Structure 1
Amino acid sequence: MGVTQIVATILAVLVTVVAIALFARSVGSMVKIIKLGQPDPTRSKPFAQRLANMLKETLGHTRMLKWTTVGIAHWFVFIGFGTLALTLAEAFGEVVQPKFELPLIGGWAPYGLFIEFIATALLISIVTLIVIRQVHRRRPQSRFRGSAMGQAYYVEFTITAIGVCIFLIRGFKHAAGHFDYPVWATPISHGIGNLLPAKGALTVVTIVALIKIVVSWVFFIVISQKLTMGVAWHRFAAFFNIFFKREADGRTALGALKPVMSDGKALDFEEADPDKDLFGVSKIEEFSWKGLLDFSTCTECGRCQSQCPAWNTGKPLSPKLLITSLRDHAYAKAPYLLAGSPDDHSKIDALGLAASLKEAGRPLVGTEEEGGIIDPDVLWSCTTCGACVEQCPVDIEHVDHIVDMRRYQVMIESSFPSEAGVMLKNLESKGNPWGANPNSREDWTKGLDFEVPRVDGETEFEYLFWVGCAGALEDKAKKTTRAVATLLHEAGVSYAILGNGEGCTGDPARRIGNEFLFQMLAQQNVETLNEAGVKKIVATCPHCFNTIGNEYPEFGGRFEVVHHTELLSHLVSTGKLKPVVPIEGGLTYHDPCYLGRHNKVYSPPREVLGAALGAGELTEMPRNTERSFCCGAGGARMYMEETIGKRINIERVEEALTTGAQTIAVGCPFCFTMLGDGVTGKKASGDAAETVEVVDVATVLLRSIRTS
């Protein structure tokens, strides 16, 4: 062994030992910090199902591949990061003896071809990702804005350097005449080797192998010193974060909200103790351990940010920056918490906890002047549309965390937008958000040329038609209610309504954070529905549809719930409703967030519209289905003023108008109101033709089946 090999071996061993020691210590620190969170016993079972889903999402890259080019490139980087560990083992041997090959597989053509292909794909992929980052970072609403770009560049450099080293090692081995793989298996390595000098080639192999080892292990040393370096740590944390996701079957954390948790259990308000139990989240350690794992796993890719309606209309909310702010706060506060939250200043000084104590004193939600981690405008900008959760490749549960913070602000601090207070009072006193007379819920039935059946204890029915507050009380939504009732009547569907016995499902109360009021409304409705013997429910409002179907089981209300577009699609496909008059003038469809992303109902409304169009085609907006853009009304935003940035509904209406369609179809009363108001505003300014209108899918179908 020559001097070069001896020195290189010593350096390789030293950097390896230091890196492994520091990395192991950092993993231990990260685990301790994550364990500071509240218990959540719902995250580990069933083990086999969770493991299978984690392997499917990681190895199959099922969520990343929604972004085809980025997904494919990232998959090769991901695979390369793991499989090219074999070349790291080779490098250790090459430091000692540059002619070294791995036992058994060294010199074997299939192995040579495999490494050649993966290394090539790795380099092409990382260059692709570098180019994409550089292109996107220059855009006004870049998904990379706010990300730690320097950290990303370092990771990209490391991956590129490893790939280059692999080919240089192989090339110099070939130049020295000690490369045993055939040309067909390693054409690039042979090509590079043909360009390199033979003199001193083996010495260079040792040097490049050392560089490869140093670059690889320095990466671990660097990230060990920066636990908040999500762009690097997600490579390890993502496996666990996906395994412990809320839904074991692989669904995203949408639909039902996570219940209020205290000490690992769903909070029972009848037995809750305000002095001991948690009513939402007011401190970082009051998030569950899974929440802290979420924050630690964020890779800062910005897919959530690119899809967020608030961010895209100039509001301060970025789901990515919210998560990274919580992460940075958690890790800055952690030393103080891990020390037992001492109040003895001499002990604090002795332990060097002054900075951590200062961080601990910051309010979780507060203005910049108050030193808050999350600004109130950030918290209240969220529409809970779920775009962030749907797009996150590592299954971070943004909406649950946002609502948990809202819960504390509403139930304990009574701190929320003033106009939302009117809505909450109306829900308490009148059972609807607008404070309308609860005895007027049946007024929409007036003027129909048929009798709408009521639940009276004697009438038999297959479906309960859940009209909802908007459908019963809001003028625009009443048109949809009448259209659905007419279609059900003409199709011979057996149905009935609760009429004045119906109350708000509580969706706006829960989404704004008033869990106590939501549970009160939910329990009343479940009792009413169970007493009426209801088995099946059809709802026109996706928010009612979601709440009854996904959240009422928590309170003993287990019903088969369908959206009206699902039932109408079935009636059309079975011939009970037959469209005969094609809709003209062009038609586009807006996916409601709580019907689409939250409940994956995309096809039925399109099937109904397709039947109504006859030979025509539905014109899709650029953002549709799972990437549909929100109308701006969800998360109780329907009842709050939108004073920051561009109005979300205007952004969506402008997108709809670019299709040239004269009819904008919706499947939600909230969307009906928001898009309708947007179109009205555009008409007033001369930016939309007078013939453009917003109508529900049911109204489109009703027009199509009528000949006069």
Structure 2
Amino acid sequence: MQLAAIIVSLVLTAVGVALLARAVGQFVRYFRLGQPVPAGTRTDNPYQRSVTLVREFLGHTRMNRWGVVGVAHWFVAIGFLTLPPTIVNAYGQLFQADWTLPILGGFLPYEMYIEFIGAMTTLGIAALIVIRLLSLPSRPGRKSRFAGSKMGQAYFVEYVILTIGLAIYVLRGLEGAIHQVDHYEAAYFASYPLVLAFDGLSVTALQNLVYLFAMIKLGTTMVWMITVSLNINMGVAWHRFLAFPNIWFKRDATGGTALGALQPMTSGGEPIDFADPGEDDVFGVSQVEQFSWKGLLDFSTCTECGRCQSQCPAWNTGKPLSPKLLIMSLRDHAHAKAPYLLAGGGKTAEGEERGTEEQLATVPAAALAEAERPLIGTAEENGVIDPDVLWSCTTCGACVEQCPVDIEHVDHIVDMRRYQVMIESSFPSEAGTMLKNLEKKGNPWGLAKKQRLEWLKEVDFEVPVVGRDIEDLTEVDYLYWVGCAGALEDRAKKTTKAFAELLHMAGVKFAIMGGDEKCTGDSARRLGNEPLFQELGMENVMSLNTAFGEELDDDGKVTPQTRKPKSAKRIVATCPHCLNTLGNEYPQLGGDYEVIHHTQLLQHLVDEGRLTPVTPVEGIITYHDPCYLGRHNKIYTPPREIIGKVPGIRNEEMHRHKERGFCCGAGGARMWMEERIGKRVNNERVDEALSLNPDIVSTACPFCLVMLTDSVNGKKNDGTAKESVQVVDVAQLLLESVRTPVDPDGAAADGEPRPEPVK
């Protein structure tokens, strides 16, 4: 028994270690196929990155949002990292059944730790197996987050961990028996029942059982190592190694998600100068090797857990996009194509083959076939990613928010969109109208710029305009960036007027731009038209810098010597997309401003007592979190606090809210595209809202306001929603409440006629 155990274990170990070393080398060569990233963007602040890694791992900050799953996975992960001493112990037991580790062997705290973690790891993986087994039959098809995952690989990994955990537990019992533990000891508090069960066996029997279970433990470990080394695209196994570097190299060293700003377009690790692009610049991604090395690391790190898929509004409404399946497809394609690329294969910008005939002769036929597949293409074209997958994305960020290993799905989707838009001119036709309007008129609706100020005629107080009523913004507290929707879309204009009136009532000094401002470029950028975004953005930055009274050089840029502090350039926006672009993306273009959302300012004014909600607004309200306000900018509390201060109203949260809020369907330039596949996203969201039987559905974004209103009106028409349901912005709700209360005769308390309510 001992000889067989030694031979089997050592042979498997030799094979496993050799294959693992080869696999590590393959990963290194594979990741080097990716493009470089801009210097310092993934390695800045190494201390903070290390702190973030430790915090995310030990705190399981993403996983623990899922209750039992998070706790069970924590113990499995801790066991994987801290139980390797039991492997060393098992090797010693092959040669001497009662062998123990030097120093640690017999050390009570260590023995108790092994007992506890060994038992909890075993229970943890058993819980995860049960959850997986119950998930598929109880939530069939798209409803299961495991739909599309490679279940055979997952079960293999889970049963390996279970087998090893049970082997550790049995070996602990055998160790107690062979060391003649004849009464309860803390060192064997978990395995003591097995110690008793083995009591009475002969020494020879105990030794043979030790040899057997040491071989089972080591053999199972090495079979796992051999299997995963031969399958380096086996994300469900490799994530336990790759998650650590993927988290360390994440975009934000302090731990924030890869949301908010999109990254500038780069080629060869350098930002592209669209005014004078280089001859060899690559625009977007059309081949998998054009992703950065971080992108390739992302793909390999995916553990196929399906959290992203379960939260994706596209997937939940019958669209072909699943963030998980997208990443899996890119991973499998990249690994299958890697032998071709490593042999020197690849296409030049002119479409010519780089590799020589001699080099490509060594490439397996499967890799050559994979290399011929277009990255973006229909099923008939044998494409890796279907175009409908790309255009289904609303860039809501739910996938990035939920991913436990910090995969940056949105960045990768936009990179592929960029190539389709800029090089192939291939995108939904309706979006082309929006782009033309932006190019010619500076707004998505294609309206004349003079109409940006038309809403001023509908308010009975003065709103200063920069360049007309005031010279620059040094005379006011805030620039109110009205935005295209707020100035031009009828429903959003109600929010604009309500917010402006509230600022006027609170005595806040503010001004607006004079109508020459352009769209911030949010939709253009997320559609993939980076040059148009930069053109619009740079014009706006120049206008804003001038409005804030900064001195500009000949190129229209602020000189370092005259740059004002960020706190002196305060902007408030009612549109979360404008907020995100102005505050998070314009710094890339030379515009550094302090940008807040109107709900943040309104909450501050209410807290200061400058606005006092007094008039009750009766009924039930439910608040919808705009994705670009919530997930992208972490602003969840101010709108809810404002609602909470309004007397008479009762707030009911939808099932999906805050970090798990469901998209309205307008983000990622989807506002301008038809929704032809599956259920409309806004209808799905409104169905959830109406299930609470509310009187008011509230939000804090003009895009959301339009999408939710359209859906509610449609449901009123077909009789599935009551006629009294309103969709309003938080500012409209607050204005309704801060207006002077009325007496029973219908007059205001001060004797003046009651103002008309904002609807």
TM category (shorter chain) comes to over 0.9
Runs of 4+ in 1 over 3 A off after TM superposition: 173-182, 342-350
Residues 1:349 and 1:360: Cα distance change in structure 2 (over 3 Å): closer
* Map of 2:730 onto structure 1: 697
- After TM superposition, list the pairs within 5 Å mapping 1:20-99 onto structure 2: 20-40=17-37, 41=39, 42-99=41-98
Partner-residue secondary structure (3-state), 1:446: helix
Which amino acid in 2 is paired with 1:474? E
Which amino acid in 1 is paired with 2:26? S
Confirm whether residue 378 of structure 1 aligns to residue 389 of structure 2: yes
Distance (whole Å) between structure 2 residues aligned to residue 245 and residue 498 of structure 1: 37
Aligned to 2:328, which of 324, 329, 334? Answer: 324
**Residue deviations 1:603-638 (CA, integer Å, cap 9, x gap):** 0111111111x3654211000001100000000000
* Map of 1:214 onto structure 2: 219
Aligned to 1:228, which of 214, 228, 233? Answer: 233
Distance (whole Å) between structure 2 residues aligned to residue 447 and residue 396 of structure 1: 47
Which amino acid in 1 is paired with 2:518? G
**Residue deviations 1:133-191 (CA, integer Å, cap 9, x gap):** 12222313211001000000001111100111011112233344545995334233121
Distance (whole Å) between structure 2 residues aligned to residue 69 and residue 664 of structure 1: 33
Partner-residue secondary structure (3-state), 2:186: coil
Distance (whole Å) between structure 2 residues aligned to residue 264 and residue 476 of structure 1: 43
Distance (whole Å) between structure 2 residues aligned to residue 533 and residue 349 of structure 1: 60
Aligned to 1:606, which of 640, 645, 667? Answer: 640
Distance (whole Å) between structure 1 residues aligned to residue 710 and residue 341 of structure 2: 50
TM-score by length of 2: 0.91
Distance (whole Å) between structure 2 residues aligned to residue 617 and residue 162 of structure 1: 53
Which amino acid in 2 is paired with 1:61? H
Confirm whether residue 555 of structure 1 aligns to residue 589 of structure 2: yes
* Map of 2:458 onto structure 1: 447
Query: What is the Cα deviation at residue 110 of structure 1?
Result: 2.0
User: Does the 8 A contact of 1:165 with 1:208 survive in 2?
Assistant: yes
- After TM superposition, list the pairs within 5 Å mapping 1:329-348 onto structure 2: 329-341=333-345, 347=358
Distance (whole Å) between structure 2 residues aligned to residue 43 and residue 205 of structure 1: 48
User: Does the 8 A contact of 1:468 with 1:544 survive in 2?
Assistant: yes
Structure 1 stretch 299-308 or stretch 63-72: which is displaced more?
63-72
Which amino acid in 2 is paired with 1:576? R
Aligned to 1:591, which of 615, 621, 625? Answer: 625
* Map of 1:111 onto structure 2: 110
Partner-residue secondary structure (3-state), 1:100: coil
Partner-residue secondary structure (3-state), 2:190: helix
User: Does the 8 A contact of 2:345 with 2:360 survive in 1?
Assistant: no
* Map of 2:426 onto structure 1: 415
Residues 1:349 and 1:572: Cα distance change in structure 2 (over 3 Å): closer
* Map of 2:145 onto structure 1: 143
**Residue deviations 1:663-701 (CA, integer Å, cap 9, x gap):** 011000000000001101111111111111100000000
Distance (whole Å) between structure 2 residues aligned to residue 349 and residue 576 of structure 1: 74
Confirm whether residue 432 of structure 1 aligns to residue 434 of structure 2: no
Query: What is the Cα deviation at residue 345 of structure 1?
Result: 8.4
Structure 1 stretch 7-16 or stretch 497-506: which is displaced more?
7-16
Which amino acid in 1 is paired with 2:577? H
Which amino acid in 2 is paired with 1:111? Y
Query: What is the Cα deviation at residue 353 of structure 1?
Result: 2.7
Confirm whether residue 527 of structure 1 aligns to residue 542 of structure 2: yes
Structure 1 stretch 198-207 or stretch 331-340: which is displaced more?
198-207
Which amino acid in 2 is paired with 1:544? C
TM-score by length of 1: 0.97
- After TM superposition, list the pairs within 5 Å mapping 1:294-333 onto structure 2: 294-333=298-337
Aligned to 1:463, which of 438, 458, 478? Answer: 478
User: Does the 8 A contact of 2:716 with 2:722 survive in 1?
Assistant: yes
* Map of 1:569 onto structure 2: 603
Distance (whole Å) between structure 1 residues aligned to residue 47 and residue 356 of structure 2: 49
Query: What is the Cα deviation at residue 250 of structure 1?
Result: 1.0
User: Does the 8 A contact of 2:398 with 2:631 survive in 1?
Assistant: yes
User: Does the 8 A contact of 2:176 with 2:188 survive in 1?
Assistant: no
Query: Unaligned regions of 5+ residues in structure 2, if any?
Result: 347-352, 550-568, 742-753, 755-759
Which amino acid in 2 is paired with 1:36? L
Distance (whole Å) between structure 2 residues aligned to residue 617 and residue 90 of structure 1: 62
User: Does the 8 A contact of 2:235 with 2:301 survive in 1?
Assistant: yes
Percent identity for Structure 1 against Structure 2: 59
* Map of 1:503 onto structure 2: 518
Residues 1:50 and 1:176: Cα distance change in structure 2 (over 3 Å): closer
Structure 1 stretch 326-335 or stretch 442-451: which is displaced more?
442-451
How many residues are matched? 703
Query: What is the Cα deviation at residue 84 of structure 1?
Result: 1.1
Partner-residue secondary structure (3-state), 2:651: coil
* Map of 2:713 onto structure 1: 680
**Residue deviations 1:54-96 (CA, integer Å, cap 9, x gap):** 1111122112112121111111000001111111111111111
Which amino acid in 2 is paired with 1:16? T
* Map of 1:396 onto structure 2: 407
Distance (whole Å) between structure 2 residues aligned to residue 271 and residue 357 of structure 1: 36
Partner-residue secondary structure (3-state), 1:188: coil
Partner-residue secondary structure (3-state), 1:583: coil
* Map of 2:201 onto structure 1: 198
Distance (whole Å) between structure 1 residues aligned to residue 33 and residue 181 of structure 2: 53
Distance (whole Å) between structure 1 residues aligned to residue 340 and residue 445 of structure 2: 47
Distance (whole Å) between structure 2 residues aligned to residue 490 and residue 499 of structure 1: 22
Confirm whether residue 647 of structure 1 aligns to residue 680 of structure 2: yes
Partner-residue secondary structure (3-state), 2:643: helix
Distance (whole Å) between structure 1 residues aligned to residue 505 and residue 627 of structure 2: 29
Query: What is the Cα deviation at residue 349 of structure 1?
Result: 6.8
User: Does the 8 A contact of 1:107 with 1:181 survive in 2?
Assistant: no
Distance (whole Å) between structure 2 residues aligned to residue 218 and residue 567 of structure 1: 60
Which amino acid in 2 is paired with 1:453? P
Query: What is the Cα deviation at residue 101 of structure 1?
Result: 1.4
User: Does the 8 A contact of 1:99 with 1:178 survive in 2?
Assistant: no
Residues 1:28 and 1:285: Cα distance change in structure 2 (over 3 Å): same
* Map of 1:154 onto structure 2: 156
Confirm whether residue 358 of structure 1 aligns to residue 366 of structure 2: no
**Residue deviations 1:307-361 (CA, integer Å, cap 9, x gap):** 0000000000000000010001101111011001185786367414322121111
Which amino acid in 2 is paired with 1:127? A
Partner-residue secondary structure (3-state), 2:665: coil
Partner-residue secondary structure (3-state), 2:35: coil
- After TM superposition, list the pairs within 5 Å mapping 1:633-644 onto structure 2: 633-644=666-677
Query: What is the Cα deviation at residue 447 of structure 1?
Result: 2.4
User: Does the 8 A contact of 1:107 with 1:180 survive in 2?
Assistant: no
RMSD of aligned Cα (Å): 1.5
**Residue deviations 1:390-426 (CA, integer Å, cap 9, x gap):** 0000000000000000000001110000000000000
Distance (whole Å) between structure 1 residues aligned to residue 697 and residue 648 of structure 2: 18
Partner-residue secondary structure (3-state), 2:664: coil
Distance (whole Å) between structure 1 residues aligned to residue 360 and residue 507 of structure 2: 78
* Map of 1:661 onto structure 2: 694
Residues 1:180 and 1:98: Cα distance change in structure 2 (over 3 Å): farther
